[in-house]
Amino acid sequence: MGKVRTHKSVAIVPFWRDIRVLRILAQLAFLMVVIAILLWAISNYRARGLIFGYSFLSKEASFDLAEGIPFKPTDSYARAFLVGVVNTVRVAVIGIILATLLGLVTGIARLSRNWLLRKIATVYIEIIRNTPLLVQLFFLYFAVIMKLPRLSRAIVLAGPVYISNRGVVIPWLRLAESFRLWWPFLLLAAAWAGVLIVIRRRTIRRVGRPGINLLWVFSCLIAVPVLGWLLIPGNPLRFDLPDLVTRSGGVITVDGGVTLSSEFTAILTGLVIYTAAFIAEVVRAGIQSVPKGQAEAARAQGFTNRQILRLIVLPQALRVIIPPLISQYLNLTKNSSLAIAIGFLDLYAVSQTMLNQSGRVVEVFLMIMGSYLAISLTISLIMNIINKRIQIVER
């Protein structure tokens, strides 16, 4: 009976006062507004006689790009865009890893009992957080890196590593001819180690104590490839050492090794230093959010300081750290678009060239936004998965 009455009472309310109807209406109205704005924008676009299309992407770019994956002027616009995307992803991924490490160390140092360490960390964080990134990038590129010696007088470190205002050239491992004989050994080692780890985990779950020492896993990982190295003829890997070369006209260039151009070095260093300062604060907040009693209890049980940090405090702090950390990662990725100021060919810089040479402003900007959105959402996705796992571990 009571149920029927409530139904009736709801029905009595006229639809213009029914909150459910009103909600739907409000959303419809909002949708209409959005559609109207879009239509208006499109009509403006048409009125100016502009045409929309992506057919230019397959045309020959006829400009040259020197950073990242190989590119020549006869390649297409699409390939040029890809060069930019790869460069941005490269800066973002390496930047995120390095910024996390530097931020973690600085954040911990900020809470250190060592006065000097604590103050250095504080000064670093405050200076970097309170000056604009663009200014830092200009300073780093034009006032620091540009002032390094020219290539002909490059600083040579052991390795050899050449440091000049053209960038840093480091030796690099490359695959030699006989690698095709060697890689089965690597695969075998990885598979074997994997099996051992699975067995070890099972024993831990069953008996509560590992049956196989981790040392076995490592030795298997090392021993099998070494055995392979001895069995096959020649070296599967070779060191590619950089060397200064004077070309026929007198131009000095570097042959071999891997060159980290000054632009790449500048944008990467700039972003890492900047973002790490913010991450350090996130880490500090996270550590301080763990109740003091946790560390005290651990100390009472005889844990060393390092063990407390590694086993007790950091795992709990991570719950607090990860969500704001995601924002910092996204900031780093998006800030990489400032690379255009210092001549690094990231996604944005390449797009600028593309839209200048093709005249397709709207199309190229949609591509830029789409790409950043895709990269950012991917980072968010990965980090959210990690976040979820950490939240479960906490229970």
C-beta atoms surrounding 140 within 10 Å: 20
Q: By CB under 8 A, name the binding residues for other proteins.
A: 17, 19, 22-23, 25-26, 28-30, 32-33, 35-37, 39-40, 43-44, 46-49, 62-66, 72-74, 142, 146-147, 150-151, 165-166, 245, 247-251, 253, 262-263, 340-343, 345, 349, 352-353, 355-359, 361
Q: What share of the chain is helix, strand, coil (3-state, %, to 5)?
A: 70, 10, 20
Nearer to other proteins, 64 or 296 (CB): 64
User: What are the structure tokens assigned to 169, written together?
Assistant: 């050239």
Identify the CA nearest to 255 among candidates 264, 244, 265: 244
For the bound state, the minimum distance from the C-beta of residue 153 to other proteins, rounded and expressed in Å, comes to 10
Q: Which is nearer to other proteins, 153 or 310 (CB)?
A: 153
Length of the chain: 395
Q: Cα angle at 339 between 103 and 324, to 5 degrees? A: 30
Instruction: Tell me the helices (H) and strands (E) count for the chain, helix number first.
Output: 13, 8
Relative orientation angle of helices 77-110 and 314-335, to the nearest 10 degrees = 140
CA 247 to chain centre: 37
Q: What's the CA angle centered on 337, arms 335 and 341, to 5 degrees?
A: 110
CB of 363 to other proteins, least distance (A): 13
Instruction: Please report how close the Cβ of residue 32 comes to other proteins at its closest, in angstroms.
Output: 5
Question: In terms of CB distance, is 3 or 17 closer to other proteins?
Answer: 17
Q: Is the Cβ of residue 80 or residue 309 nearer to other proteins in the bound state?
A: 80
For other proteins, the closer CB: 205 or 247: 247
Say how many CA atoms lie within 13 Å of 167 toward its Cβ.
19
Nearer to other proteins, 15 or 115 (CB): 15
Non-local CB neighbours of 385 within 8 Å, separated by 6+ positions: none
Cβ contact 111:288 at 8 Å: yes
Encoded tokens for 185: 């050994």
Q: Which is nearer to other proteins, 233 or 249 (CB)?
A: 249
Q: Are 311 and 110 in contact, with CB atoms under 8 Å apart?
A: no
Cβ at position 103, least distance to other proteins in Å = 30
How far is residue 351's CA from residue 302's CA, in Å, rounded to a whole number?
58
Shortest reach from residue 169's CB to other proteins, in Å: 13
For residue 348, give the nearest of 70, 356, 259 by alpha carbon: 356
Q: For CA atoms 361, 362, 363, 365, give the dihedral sign.
A: positive
CB 336 within 8 A of CB 69: no
Q: Given the complex with other proteins, which of 130 and 248 has the nearer CB atom?
A: 248
CB of 251 to other proteins, least distance (A): 4
**Structural tokens at position 166:** 């053209």
Sheet with 155-157, side-by-side order of all strands: 155-157, 161-164, 167-170, 258-261
